[in-house]
Copies of this chain bind each other. A is one copy, B any other.
Amino acid sequence: MKRYLLAPGPTPVPPEVLAAMSQPIIHHRTPQFSALFAEAAEGLKRVFQTQQDVLILAASGTGGMEGAVTNLLSPGDEVVVVNGGKFGQRWLKLCAAYGVRVHEVVVEWGEAVEPAAVEACLRAHPGVRAVLMQASETSTTALHPVETVARLVQRSDTLLIVDGITAVGVLDLPMDRWGVDVLVTGSQKALMLPPGLAFVALSERAWARTKGAELPRFYFDLTREREALRKRTTAWTPAISLIVGLREALRLIEAESLPGVFARHARLAEATRVGVERLGLRLLAPRAPSPAATGIWLPEGVDGARLVRFLRDEMGVTMAGGQDHLTGKIVRIAHLGHVGAFDVIVGIAALEMALARFGHPVAAGQGVGAAQGVLKDEWQGSGTG
């Protein structure tokens, strides 16, 4: 069966990247590896929109989140966590594991955080050392207002730590300009790689804070990692093949240009929303939709878990279902990474056909047609005259 991957990570790996990764392995303590590692590290700075070093860790994104906590905080420190979904909860659990005290800003699933709620929480707890949030909350497909929160946080010496795992390389998130202090992402999202790499960058004031941060760390010791990076290597054995792929993926991003990449994600997301709304379905995050993925409420009576299974096992189209209390109630169509207009077409057409199969007939082609109205802007060149 021909398969289509429309889940919010892992995302499809481009053939150029697969080909690069399938070359014979090279040793990592060699000039050959150092040169490609340095090229990848430079490329990452452009994607992060930062002058700071972007560290490359052999771990999944959660490892990068752990490094953000353990390198910046001390036992008993107070932080604010924006909790609007499964990944907001991950910050909570991480802080609990390390004895960091959390003031939680709870956000309804599918909503973006109100900056005023963060501001009130900061005012109520003046000792707060950091605010931890997601940029794009993958579990709900909502987009949090990082820029506005950054402005609030910068007034004090509180740090802003952002999980950008489904945001970096998807949407404009200029780390330095907005004043994000710690930005984390992973390889298997917009960077179009298999999972296994986490990336972390710190602002100047975050680096200064690491000196006094007393939580224990070793594998995720970012200072040690930065020293190694400046010698064009890593502290521990790097995930070589993934870094070889990373260089290739970054070249693809450069070729498309970062604004081009952001515009494509925005267009695919809009087309998806327009398409599913035309089918009479409601969006999970209508007010603040993420350009990475679109969460959709399923009609009453449609078993979402079975629908997602049918899409995957019978139709070959892998989307994501809902987590926790959203289990069985939603479907999430991702449109990030190595995806184009026809992935959206496939996703909406598959949803149309699957819904019909599950007793909720929709007018075949209506959603696809509506999406086409947005997707046509993908091609602006001549040659059609």
Chain A residues engaging chain B, CB cutoff 8 angstroms: 3, 5, 7, 9-13, 18-19, 21-31, 58-63, 66, 93-94, 97-99, 186, 188, 194-196, 215-221, 236-242, 312-313, 318, 320
In the bound complex, residues from chain B placing their C-beta under 8 Å from that of A196 are 58, 196, 239-242
Beyond A30-B312, A60-B239, list 15 extra A-B contacts (CB 8 Å): A9-B237, A11-B25, A12-B24, A18-B22, A18-B23, A18-B24, A60-B237, A63-B219, A66-B219, A97-B221, A194-B240, A194-B242, A195-B240, A196-B196, A241-B242
Query: B218 and A215: CB pair below 8 A?
Result: no
A247 to chain B, nearest CB (A): 15
Chain B residue at minimal CB-CB distance from A23: B18
Query: A10 and B24: CB pair below 8 A?
Result: no
With A19-B22, A25-B10, A194-B240: A94-B218 Cβ-Cβ less than 8 Å: yes
Query: B12 and A27: CB pair below 8 A?
Result: no
Query: B97 and A216: CB pair below 8 A?
Result: yes
- In the A-B complex, the 6 residue pairs with the smallest Cβ-Cβ separation, listed nearest first, are A196-B239, A22-B22, A194-B241, A97-B218, A60-B237, A62-B236
A202 to chain B, nearest CB (A): 18
Q: Which of B10, B13, B60, B98 contacts A236 (CB 8 A)?
A: B60
Query: B61 and A237: CB pair below 8 A?
Result: yes
In the bound complex, residues from chain B placing their C-beta under 8 Å from that of A97 are 216-218, 221
In the bound complex, residues from chain B placing their C-beta under 8 Å from that of A62 are 218-219, 236-237
A–B pairs, 22, beta carbons within 8 Å? A5-B24, A5-B25, A5-B27, A10-B26, A10-B237, A11-B25, A12-B24, A21-B22, A22-B22, A27-B312, A30-B312, A58-B196, A62-B236, A62-B237, A63-B236, A66-B219, A93-B218, A94-B218, A194-B240, A195-B239, A196-B196, A196-B242
- In angstroms, Cα B60 to Cα A98, docked, is 22
In the bound complex, residues from chain B placing their C-beta under 8 Å from that of A29 are 320
Copies in the complex: 2
A185 to chain B, nearest CB (A): 12
A383 to chain B, nearest CB (A): 31
A339 to chain B, nearest CB (A): 13
A201 to chain B, nearest CB (A): 19
